[in-house]
Chain A
Amino acid sequence: MSSIVSPIRRPLIEGNKTYHDITEDICAPTERAPSLAWIIAFILAVTFLAIYLVCLVITVWGGIGTWDLNRTIGWGWDITNFVWWVGIGHAGTLISAILLLFRQKWRTGVNRAAEAMTIFAVICAGQFPLIHMGRQWMGFFIFPYPNSRGPLWVNFNSPLLWDVFAISTYFTVSLLFWYTGLVPDLATVRDRAKGIRKKFYEVASFGWTGKAKHWQRWESLSLILAGLATPLVLSVHTIVSFDFATSVIPGWHTTIFPPYFVAGAIFSGFAMVQSLMVIARKVFDLQEYITLEHIESMNKVILLTGMLVGTAYLTELFIAWYSGYIYEQYAFFNRVFGPYWWSYVGMMSCNVLAPLIFWSKKARRSIFITFFMSIFINIGMWFERFVIIATTLARDYLPSSWSYYSPTWVEIGLFLGSLGLFFTCFLIFARVAPVIAIAEVKHILKSSGDQYIDKNSKHYVEVVEKELA
């Protein structure tokens, strides 16, 4: 059978794979003993996780005084890290939901890992607002529950509370979406496993058998969850931007924030997916499933969102000047030339100038450039959040309260440690579950496998000629 596929499409699965090969190749990383590269990475990640725990204990025990925040600068690395992690968490849903709605076949190679990345990034993000509350054991006060204080409710008009709802909904929906997609693949692993592993996958795969009706419901569910997750993912970073945009601080009080934050989130999220996939495809020997075609497609998204972000930066500057409002003008003058000028330079060079290299097809298809660019972009996007948060707060209305902020080692430890938390989760995931959606890759084999390309293009020409005649 041939599928109708445009002849300009390049193959997404290389190496003349059969259905059985796909199962073997993708299940292999969960079945064989961990490789040396994995063990070294895991030890490193756990070390950083330990640093995180130490800094967490110090913060909880000693209070927020262990950080260098002051009366002027009340949000520093903590909220910067929060926004950065939430942003990274956006790519997974974008790849799996929006690209599913657009019927982009290349999503099948990367969606599983990207969704897992989303979940772990949101776990990391959620830590920071909680830690920075000061009295972390009172954290449950953010939920509207019947209490003995009246009941006194939370403020539903506050963007900070909207954030609570947005992040927790996003986490729940992403988790459900990811796991429902994972169930058929866990069943594949179950049917190959023996002994204790079999017991584990029997429970984890929920008794999936692959009945026609179940597949029909599963596809319907995936599509509707994608339809729900698409506005959800846009709403989440919009609401995160409301934390700033609804305030009265010059430099924060701007209507451009929601689209600007969403574009930035997609930008940094794709960069993180690239960092992970470039390594994962090598370590797990999956180059035939995560091909240069996939990497190039993601680099195109990075180029587009990078330019959106760049446009937003310049628009902000223009509007600040055009507003004729001196506080707004000063806020932006201060961002570019103030005491934190270096973070603005970091942001501009990493986010706006560097991605322009992806205009070149050669660069888009280069593993080396892609990997370094992805790291650059992640650094640049961290700087962006730092520029917005700390730089703006450092110079407020009253020059007498102007201040400067640099992190203590505890804050740095918390940030580096959260990377440890993220990578520990991701490395465990890569050992336990198939990192590529097996069923979905099999589903596109006949339209995107390299052995079908010639057959499909002949078929395509036939169909077109028949239509024209």
Chain B
Amino acid sequence: MKNITYGLYDDETDLLSAVRQANAEHLEIEEVYSPFPVHGLDPLLGLKESRLHITGFIYGLIGTLTAFLFMTWVFTRSWPIIFGGKPYFSLPAFIPIIFELTVLFSAVGMVITFYVISGMGPGAKPVILDKRITDDKFCLVFDTGTDALSPSNAEQFFKKTGASEVYSKTI
């Protein structure tokens, strides 16, 4: 359970200036929701760059090795057959499948990782603060359960920064 106060802004520029103001006042921001990615928000919130691309590289490497080692094993150990007088280990002919499996492993792995670390998937039960967040509202959330910030102070902050609506909730 958590007590939160959140304000809804009508425009991403209002949201950005509110976040800047909150940073200036050393208020700790709980979460920001928006209907589309707002550029310039991540550094203000102190979000580090996503490391998804690193996982993508690792999955891709696994794909490369899987394809290469498997085909090599099949054609040199498991059941060597001569096709068209070519050597058993004919690397150039393996390249297309190695490439395809690299891409396949990387893409599938990254997408699964994305959903798992974001806690998303079919059947996920999210807390939806306001139905208009996926439409045209930009939402800034403060944790008002602690001593650092009281709901009324938060409300004042939202009024000052031009939020169109302010709500307090326990989630």
Interface flag for A1 (CB, 8 Å): yes
- Tell me which residues across on chain B come within 8 A of A213, comparing CB atoms: 47, 118
The verdict on A172 contacting B104 (CB below 8 Å), with A209-B128, A210-B35, A235-B99 known, is yes
A215 CB contacts on chain B under 8 angstroms: 34, 36-38
The reply to whether B134 and A157 contact each other, CB–CB distance below 8 Å, is no
Contact of B131 among A192, A235, A239 (CB under 8 A): A192
Interface size range on A against B = 35 or more
- Asked if B13 is an interface residue, CB under 8 A from chain A, the answer is yes
Chain A residues whose C-beta falls within 8 Å of the C-beta of B52 in the assembled complex? 217, 220-221, 224
Q: Within the complex, what minimum Cβ distance (angstroms) separates B33 from chain A?
A: 5
A359 contacts B by Cβ under 8 Å: no
**Nearest CB on B from A382, distance (A):** 26
**In the bound complex, do residue A221 and residue B111 qualify as a contact, i.e. CB atoms below 8 Å apart?**
yes
Q: Are A209 and B36 in contact (CB under 8 A)?
A: no
User: Are B118 and A214 interface neighbours, CB within 8 A?
Assistant: yes
Contact B110 A224 (CB under 8 A): yes
Q: Does B149 contact A (CB under 8 A)?
A: no
Q: Which residues of B contact A439 (CB under 8 A)?
A: 35-37
Complex: how many Å from CA A235 to CA B100? 8
Nearest to A246 among chain B residues (CB) is: B93
Q: How many residues of B contact A (CB 8 A)?
A: 65
Question: Which chain B residues lie closer than 8 Å to A398 at the CB level?
Answer: none
A-binding segment of B20-28, B119-127, B153-161, B162-170: B119-127
Which B residue sits closest to A152, measured CB to CB? B79
On whether the beta carbons of A203 and B114 are closer than 8 Å, the reply is no
Contact indicator A19/B135 (Cβ below 8 Å): yes
Contacts of B33 in A (CB 8 A): 209-212
Listed stretches A82-90, A159-167, A360-368; interface member: A159-167
- Which A residues lie within 8 Å of B31 (CB)? 211-212
Which A residues lie within 8 Å of B86 (CB)? 157
| Contact segment of A180-188, A290-298, A327-335, A454-462 | A180-188
* A212 touching B32 in the complex, CB below 8 Å, given contacts A157-B83, A173-B104, A176-B108: yes
Interface residues of A (CB under 8 A from B): 1, 18-20, 23, 144, 150-153, 155-159, 161-162, 165-166, 169, 172-173, 176-177, 180, 183-184, 187-188, 190-192, 203-204, 206-221, 224-225, 228-229, 231-232, 235, 239, 242, 439-440, 442-443
Given contacts A173-B103, A207-B121, A220-B53, 8 further A-B contacts (CB under 8 A): A165-B100, A166-B100, A169-B103, A180-B111, A215-B36, A216-B49, A231-B103, A443-B36
The 9 lowest CB-CB distance pairs between A and B, nearest first, are A207-B124, A19-B136, A215-B37, A207-B126, A157-B93, A191-B131, A162-B96, A439-B36, A188-B134
Q: List 14 A-B contacts (CB under 8 A).
A: A150-B79, A157-B86, A157-B90, A169-B100, A169-B104, A173-B104, A187-B134, A209-B33, A212-B31, A215-B36, A221-B114, A228-B106, A235-B100, A442-B36
